[in-house]
Amino acid sequence: MGASATLALAACDDVPAAPEIRTPATTTPEPQPVATPTPEVTPAAAPPTATPTPETAPRPRVTVAPTPLTEAPIPEPPFDDAEVEVLLVGLLQRRNMSRTQAIVDAVVAAGDRRFVAVFIELMRLNEIAIIRGPGVPGVQAALTELTGFSSVFTSEWAKWYARSDLQAPPGFTQWKGWLLGAIDPVMTQFFQGEDPGKIRAEEVLWGGVRVDGIPPLENPAFRPAAEIDYLEPDDLLFGVSINGDHRAYPQRILDWHEMANDVVGGVPVSLAYCTLCGAGVLFDGRFDDTVFTFGTSGLLMRSNKLMYDRNTRSLWNQLSGEPVLGPLATSDIRLDILPVVVSTWADWTAQHPDTLALDIETGYSRAYTPGAAYGAYFASLETRFPVPFDSPELRTKDRVFGLAINGVRRAYPTELLTERMVVNDELAGRRVVIVAPRGDLKGQGRDRSLGAPAIWKAGAEVRAYDGGSFEFTAGDDPQALVDESGATWQVTEDALLGPGGQRLERLPGHLAYWFGWFNFFPDSTVYPVEP
């Protein structure tokens, strides 16, 4: 915020420390993970375009908010930046409600729609009982007066705001950090007043946990398949294969951690898993001379998790692999997405008997059984957090395989892919072939919070490849394709291999719920595309 207002920095008594948060991911003690050696990292073969190397030390934690000056006069409209600061800080206090009401009235009288975002934040934090005392008087009526929209639900206000072109007042980002600091002081690091952003900070929501309250796995231990006795044949997993190193990350474990920072085949990777939008995305952690590792911010946007890098505490989009709020948000950094597949333990081990799988002894005490953390959500047709944009092309939680080439994106419904088994398509002027030969996947287990069984659709085992100049059909074996000449090609994790030594490289793609994909990539087409 600007230095023009004389504000003493001190802990704000009116924004209290948050009560203990209880969610499925934080109900049990969290001992430190068992230490494992860090594997050797292979240097990147071809660094991207040069970009300044980010700082490597985390920014200092900010844990204080300005003390409201209860005797300062309420500014008269129109409000300059310094006067906006006085109003924002005044709204932090709860002891003089008549003054708070006077601030709200002054904003409404001025017709200052910049404060719509501010009032929505106050409604939301009152709703989840983070702010002590009575709700800010007149906020709901003020919102309706300023916008013409009316609702008693903050989720509806959040969706309405995301569809609008309103802008927040200067200083809002820092102010929001102070509010969220009542939940976890570490969150103030993500909302520095001078930080740039590719997203509107107004759309960022608290997801119910503190920073790293859903603890990432850091170089976790693995065991050979022959030593794994906790997995059932139909258990779902993320399959990763790099330089001949095959790894299985069971979803029953990743549901509780949502992030694995690891090294596979000599490549530092982060497997970022958003349970809410159904997407596990594998990122190459290297960019220029920097290796990024990530944590869970506890924050969401459009029901998609925002991860943060440990280097600069910037917030990143989990689907695109780019920083969106913080010191790196103005950079051209975008991490390479690597191929990952969802499969079952039986199918993955049949294809890769030499695979390694996550050791269930992660160092954390969790109920690592199928569906324990999110089974009811996976089985539900509903989203858990506000999703502003809808598309009639598919149902909200239909599973799709998302593919991007040169910034052009397409969603392939997995039920259509498994019906056809092989789809030949053209995307961004490039022929591609999508392979899904093993049918639809289904998850089943028991949701621990409800104590009830759950069954859910989990997409399909899908891989995408460069199609070259060929037209493919399914072979007699799931690991085989047949081209138009009748020649058989082998399906591998790295490429399609032809009988004459031809090689068509695999393309990076991943599964997601349709709402998750569409809300961040609204220009995406859906297969099949009408001519």
Q: What is the pLDDT of residues 503-522, one digit of tens each?
A: 999 999 999 999 999 999 99
Cα 115 to Cα 117: distance, rounded to the nearest angstrom: 5
419-467: pLDDT as tens digits: 999 999 999 999 999 999 999 999 999 999 888 999 999 999 999 999 9
Asked whether the predicted pLDDT for residue 20 surpasses 60, the reply is no
Backbone angles phi, psi at 507, to 5 degrees: -110, 145
Name residue 481's beta-bridge partners.
474, 489
pLDDT at site 472: 98
Cα 177 to Cα 129: distance, rounded to the nearest angstrom: 17
Cα 8 to Cα 294: distance, rounded to the nearest angstrom: 34
The model's pTM is 0.88
Averaged pLDDT of the chain: 87
In this structure, are strands 408-413 and 525-526 parallel, antiparallel, or unpaired? parallel
Check residue 112 and report its DSSP letter: -
> 434 near 401, Cβ under 8 Å?
yes
Q: Which two tokens stand for residue 138?
A: 């007149």
Question: How many Å separate Cα 480 from the centre of its chain?
Answer: 34
pLDDT at site 369: 97
372-388: pLDDT as tens digits: 999 999 999 999 999 99
Asked whether the predicted pLDDT for residue 55 surpasses 80, the reply is no
Report H helices in 47-153: 81-90, 97-110, 116-127, 139-147
Domains, the chain, with CATH or none: 11-42+55-206 (no CATH), 222-362 (no CATH), 402-526 (2.102.10)
* Residues 283-298, mean pLDDT to the nearest whole number: 97
> 183 near 159, Cβ under 8 Å?
no
Asked whether the predicted pLDDT for residue 14 surpasses 50, the reply is no
Residue with tokens 């129109």: 78
pLDDT at site 7: 31
Backbone angles phi, psi at 351, to 5 degrees: -80, -30
- Percent of the chain residues past pLDDT 90, beyond the cut: 77
